[in-house]
Structure 1
Amino acid sequence: MSKEKTNKNETIEEELEVVDPVEEEDVAEAVSLEEEIISLKQDIENLKNDYLKTFADTENLKKRLQREHETARKYRIQSFATSILPVIDNLERALIQDTSDEAFREGVQMIYEQLMASLKAEGVEPIEALNQPFDPNIHQAMMMEEVDGVEPNIVVQELQKGYMLKDRILRASMVKVSQ
């Protein structure tokens, strides 16, 4: 029986060798692959975040440039209108003068009206100041004077017209205000 037992033991040992247990190298390689997969997943997540941040930055830049373009378009005439205001002032002074040449006066009046109509079409409007409450945002007080029958802080005289371009002030009105 001992011989039989010995043969059985040898057969079992041979079978165990055929099954070949998992070697340490295979385990190490599997662990290494798992770590690489985790690392690659983290890289993908980082790249997604970078993409989303870049996309958001691009959208914000696009919106900002659009707003700047609209503002530039809205106020494109501002520098021209500011430079033409002294011409308007001189035309108004010319119209105030007494002259015997009525044709000359009519010519100046027509030029003034055409210029004002062109500026109005672009959004330039004179600021109404006379007999209005003083507003430091649109009026520049040059003098104060007590005027009988007029409430305090009312514009009693306009020394120089002010103008607005849409919702911006091109030039504040120079005014005399009641005390």
Structure 2
Amino acid sequence: MQEEKEVVNEEAKAAEQSEEAKTEQDAAKAEKKDAKEAEKEDKKSAKFGKKKKIEELEEEIVKLKEEAAANKNAYFKAYADTENLKKRLQSESDNVRKYRIQSFAMEILPVLDNLERALDVKVDDQNVKNYAKGFEMIYQQLVHILNQEGVKEIEALDKPFDPNFHQALMQEAKDGVESGMVIEVLQKGYMLKDRVLRATLVKVSE
């Protein structure tokens, strides 16, 4: 009887140990499964975080590219504006040098007109003729100075009338002359280089 009891106890003990081992195995499996799930979640979370970081970086790259393009456009606009300003200032400076004598020439032209009228008067008195020679020398000197500065007389007589250079004050029919020709210069006109300083006053054939 005692032996049977011992056998039962040993079997119960063995069963208990087997149950404990199974429980430990189940616990180990569950722990391993939990570890795998946790690792899976960590990987998933890491993947999501990495994807989000990539998206943020891509957005930042797009933003930086837009800023770079805007800065580039602003630079080229500023550069173009600066170059245009330099060209305009240079052009204005060139024009100032080129036409610097314009105001002076406009004041001198009436003096030339008066000298020409005086020299056109025919005189017999020798003393007056001597004065006339002096006036002529002054006239020639003024013309020479103006020529050196680019002031030239506009050729008009016997030329076709050109409103860009001539101003018609009178019209008159003239035999043998076609219509629209300058038949008389009433007041000389002048150019300052490529600019009309004063238009020629003319009589034009009908």
Counterpart Cα distance in 1 of 2:201 and 2:190: 11
Q: 1:42 matched to which residue of 2? A: 66
Q: Is it true that 1:169 corresponds to 2:196 in the alignment?
A: yes
| Residues 108-161 of structure 1: CA deviation (Å, up to 9, x unaligned) | 111100100010111111112222222222121211222223332222221111
Q: 2:165 matched to which residue of 1? A: 138
Report the secondary structure of 1:84's partner residue. Answer: helix
Counterpart Cα distance in 2 of 1:143 and 1:38: 75
Structure 1 residues 157 and 9: CA distance shift in structure 2, 3 A: same
How many angstroms does 1:25 deviate by? 9.2
1:62 maps to which of 82, 86, 98: 86
Q: How does 1:20-169 map to 2 (within 5 A)?
A: 20-21=42-43, 22=45, 26=49, 30=53, 31-99=55-123, 100=125, 101=127, 102-169=129-196
| Residues 30-50 of structure 1: CA deviation (Å, up to 9, x unaligned) | 244543343233222211221
Q: Which moved more, 1:48-57 or 1:21-30?
A: 21-30
Report the secondary structure of 1:175's partner residue. Answer: strand
Counterpart Cα distance in 2 of 1:23 and 1:128: 92
Counterpart Cα distance in 2 of 1:23 and 1:150: 102
Structure 1 residues 156 and 85: CA distance shift in structure 2, 3 A: same
How many angstroms does 1:107 deviate by? 0.9
**TM-score, normalising length: structure 2:** 0.75
Q: Which moved more, 1:80-89 or 1:59-68?
A: 59-68
Q: 2:3 matched to which residue of 1? A: none
Unaligned runs of 5+ in 1: none
- Over the matched positions of the two proteins, sequence identity in percent amounts to 51
Structure 1 residues 18 and 130: CA distance shift in structure 2, 3 A: closer
| Residues 8-43 of structure 1: CA deviation (Å, up to 9, x unaligned) | 331343465478443699469724454334323322
Report the secondary structure of 1:110's partner residue. Answer: helix
Kindly indicate whether structure 1 or structure 2 has the higher relative contact order, using CA contacts under 8 Å at least 6 residues apart: 1
Unaligned runs of 5+ in 2: 1-20
Q: Is it true that 1:6 corresponds to 2:35 in the alignment?
A: no
**TM-score, normalising length: structure 1:** 0.84
Counterpart Cα distance in 2 of 1:34 and 1:136: 68
- Which AA in structure 1 matches 2:144? A
